[in-house]
Amino acid sequence: MSLGNFLREHRQALRKGDRSYSLRRVAERVGIEPSYLSKVERDLGSPPSEETLVRLAGELGQDPDVVLALAGKVSGDLKDTIRRRPVLFGQLIRELRDLPDHAVLRLVREVRDGDW
Q: Which residues bind DNA (CB under 7 A)?
A: 19, 22-25, 31-36, 38-39, 41-42, 45-49, 51-52
Closer residue to DNA (CB): 39 or 89:
39
**Which residues 6+ apart lie within 8 Å of 34 measured at CB?**
23, 24, 27, 28
The nearest distance, CB 4 to DNA, in angstroms, is 9
56, 48 Cβ separation under 8 angstroms:
yes
Task: Give the list of residues 6+ apart from residue 106 with CB closer than 8 angstroms, or none.
Answer: none
By the criterion CB under 8 A, which residues form the site for a second copy?
A: 63, 65-66, 68-69, 72-75, 77-79, 81-97, 99, 101, 103-105, 107-108, 111-112, 116
